[in-house]
Chain A
Amino acid sequence: MQKEAGREKLKEAILTAIDKNAKLSAKDLSVMLGYEEEEVAAAVAEMEADSVICGYPTLIDWDKTDRERVTALIEVKVTPQRGQGFDRIAARIYKFDEVESVYLMSGGFDLTVIIDGKSMREVANFVSGKLAPMEAVLSTATHFVLKKYKEHGITLVGEVEDERMLITP
């Protein structure tokens, strides 16, 4: 029982640490958290197997690269289906490669769909050609992202400089 609680504590500590920095290796984490490297590696493997950790994507500010990229947030109203609620229609939407995220929402609409496309035309084509014509979709409202200020808790604008003096008492 105690061992189980210790394992859960370790898992939580690992998740807190890698939430903002997935580059930390099992070796780094073991030193920082005060556990054996094997224990950390096993806990990470277990969380990967249980899909608690679903991946290690990189946070990229595409605006600083040459690649054209357009992000749109689409509010979608749908008709839920008997026996399957919103899950079936959500699946039909999230399986498209263009779709970055899908959330079921409370409030004035049902699904938030976030799309990444090469151009506004590509996004428009997706909405008018794929999303809006779906039988269960009642309406869509597309909002294009103009500028990303912060993502995953990390500020994307402005230079972050260490303004502290080099030596202080």
Chain B
Amino acid sequence: MRNPLSRTVTEIQPSGIRKFFDIVSEMKDAISLGVGEPDFETPWHIREEGIYSLEKGKTHYTSNAGLKELKEEICHYLKRRFNLDYRPAKEVLVTVGGSEAIDIGLRAMLDPGDEVLIPQPSYVSYLPCVTLAGGTPVVIELKAENDFKLTKQELLDAVTDRTKVLIMPFPNNPTGSIMTREELREIVEVVQEKDIFVISDEIYSELTYGSRHVSIAEFPGMKERTIVINGFSKSYAMTGWRLGYAVGPEPIIEQMIKIHQFAIMCAPTTSQYAAVEALRNGDSDVEMMCEAYDGRRRFLVKALRDMGLDCFEPFGAFYVFPGIQSTGMTSDEFANRLLAEEKLAVVPGTAFGSCGEGFLRISYAYSIENLKIALERMERFVRRHKNTAE
């Protein structure tokens, strides 16, 4: 029998997170700071609207690009929160989570040989999605000394004649790093000068602390060359509803809709009705959750620093990315031993790119009480192993 498998697919490395998950799930009474989704349940008024839509019999397909009223609400929302101007009819596509938008955005833009710049550490799906879309991923290794922000020089060093797309993963999972307006301006200059396009994954845009998120698409001349990806999972605690969206220039969105209509048909109808309610009446929920995350963030950063770990202050998402070099262990070794000795699961930084070596991703999508218990275990572990390292 011939090999039934695609070489492209078999050559893709499985996610490092998946590997670690398999180990963790074997350990029955482990506690975890390894989750990449909110601990809050979807606010009830949003769930209730989903239920109501089912009661009314809204159980059919919607149009491929999404419900008209949802697309309109998305445009109002983006204008209200991030000063972005999009037309609901031509420049918006509702997708199955932000993940689908990443995938089809790349597929709509790439030809074989096109290079895509991927700053790492970052979300695990960019690299395989580029490969699956026939492009060539080019990793930019972000540095702890820059608080894991992308610098102009790093970008310039990575650009070639074949560079077509830059992925901008800010606010960042796993580092919690954000890019300010001034920092983005420098990136914009290079992007425009080198004539490259941007896929800006802004799924954590509502979760910034101390300043509002700035979208790269807001800069003059950037809307024409940027796909902004966002969604409902993180901001409204709606991960299980699988709903995201992409906004961008009409010619790109048009091609993305083509892929979406053949592969997916449309995003889940119930989720779309619930999302309309989220955008219309959910601002106070977002504010409440953001305030709660902010308190935990400060708590976690202080606790990790008190343990003697290097930890830059992250101003976005719900992750802290401490350095563990002082323990003399690798990320994998630290995470595995922490799990074995203290039954606490955290994600090794290497799951998000090899430059995550020496770091851990710790999520604060947990109550303060749970964080306290977990941090006690971690403190005990670090104390024990720092001594042996010194």
- B298/A34 in contact, CB under 8 A: yes
Task: Report B96-109 CB contacts with A as 1/0, cut-off 8 Å.
Answer: 00000000000000
CB distance from A21 to the nearest CB of B (A): 7
- B291/A16 in contact, CB under 8 A: yes
B25 within 8 A of A: yes
Q: A21-B368, A31-B302 are in contact. Are A169 and B17 (CB under 8 A)?
A: yes
Set A24, A34, A169: member contacting B123, Cβ < 8 A: A169
Of B24, B123, B295, B302, the most chain A CB neighbours within 10 A belong to B295
In the complex, A17→B295 CA distance in Å?
9
- B124/A169 in contact, CB under 8 A: yes
Q: A32-B296, A34-B298, A162-B39 are in contact. Are A167 and B24 (CB under 8 A)?
A: yes
CB distance from A29 to the nearest CB of B (A): 8
Q: A31-B298, A31-B299 are in contact. Are A166 and B32 (CB under 8 A)?
A: yes
Task: Report A26-50 CB contacts with B as 1/0, cut-off 8 Å.
Answer: 0010011110000000000000000
CB distance from A12 to the nearest CB of B (A): 11
CB distance from B198 to the nearest CB of A (A): 22
Residues of A within 8 A of B295 (CB): 17, 32-33
Task: Report B16-49 CB contacts with A as 1/0, cut-off 8 Å.
Answer: 0100110011000010101111010000000000
Nearest neighbor of B347 in chain A, beta-carbon distance: A167
- B125/A166 in contact, CB under 8 A: no
Give the number of residue pairs across the A-B interface with Cβ within 8 Å: 57
B15 within 8 A of A: yes
Interface positions of B from 290 to 306, Cβ below 8 Å from A: 291, 294-296, 298-299, 302
CB distance from A159 to the nearest CB of B (A): 14
- B25/A164 in contact, CB under 8 A: no
- B36/A24 in contact, CB under 8 A: no
A168 within 8 A of B: yes
Q: A16-B291, A17-B295, A33-B295 are in contact. Are A166 and B30 (CB under 8 A)?
A: yes
In the complex, A21→B347 CA distance in Å?
29
- B368/A169 in contact, CB under 8 A: no
B345 within 8 A of A: yes
Set A32, A34, A166: member contacting B34, Cβ < 8 A: A166
Nearest neighbor of B366 in chain A, beta-carbon distance: A162
CB distance from A109 to the nearest CB of B (A): 30
Set B30, B35, B294, B296: member contacting A168, Cβ < 8 A: B35
Nearest neighbor of A160 in chain B, beta-carbon distance: B41
- A168/B17 in contact, CB under 8 A: yes
Interface positions of B from 121 to 139, Cβ below 8 Å from A: 123-125
A54 within 8 A of B: no
A145 within 8 A of B: no
Per DSSP, chain A at the interface is: loop
- A169/B125 in contact, CB under 8 A: yes
Of A24, A28, A165, A167, the most chain B CB neighbours within 10 A belong to A167
- A166/B298 in contact, CB under 8 A: no
In the complex, A130→B35 CA distance in Å?
56
- B298/A165 in contact, CB under 8 A: no
Interface positions of B from 259 to 310, Cβ below 8 Å from A: 291, 294-296, 298-299, 302
Interface positions of A from 117 to 169, Cβ below 8 Å from B: 162, 164-169
CB distance from A27 to the nearest CB of B (A): 10
- A33/B298 in contact, CB under 8 A: yes
In the complex, A165→B37 CA distance in Å?
9
In the complex, A162→B48 CA distance in Å?
21
Set A162, A164, A169: member contacting B15, Cβ < 8 A: A169
Residues of A within 8 A of B302 (CB): 31
Residues of A within 8 A of B32 (CB): 166-167
- B298/A168 in contact, CB under 8 A: no
CB distance from A43 to the nearest CB of B (A): 16
CB distance from B156 to the nearest CB of A (A): 30
CB distance from A18 to the nearest CB of B (A): 11
- B24/A28 in contact, CB under 8 A: no
Nearest neighbor of B352 in chain A, beta-carbon distance: A169
Nearest neighbor of B174 in chain A, beta-carbon distance: A169
In the complex, A34→B15 CA distance in Å?
36
CB distance from A14 to the nearest CB of B (A): 11
In the complex, A165→B363 CA distance in Å?
13
In the complex, A17→B21 CA distance in Å?
33
- A167/B345 in contact, CB under 8 A: yes
In the complex, A31→B295 CA distance in Å?
7
Q: A166-B25, A169-B124 are in contact. Are A28 and B35 (CB under 8 A)?
A: no
| 12 A–B contacts, CB within 8 A, in A order | A16-B291, A33-B298, A34-B298, A166-B21, A166-B25, A166-B345, A167-B24, A167-B32, A168-B36, A169-B17, A169-B36, A169-B125
The 6 A-B pairs with the shortest beta carbon distances in the complex, nearest first, are: A32-B295, A167-B34, A166-B32, A167-B21, A168-B36, A166-B24
Known: A165-B21, A166-B345, A167-B32. 11 other contacts (CB 8 A): A28-B299, A31-B302, A32-B298, A164-B37, A166-B21, A166-B35, A167-B345, A168-B17, A169-B36, A169-B124, A169-B125
Measured CB to CB, the residues of A under 8 A from B are 16-17, 21, 24, 28, 31-34, 162, 164-169
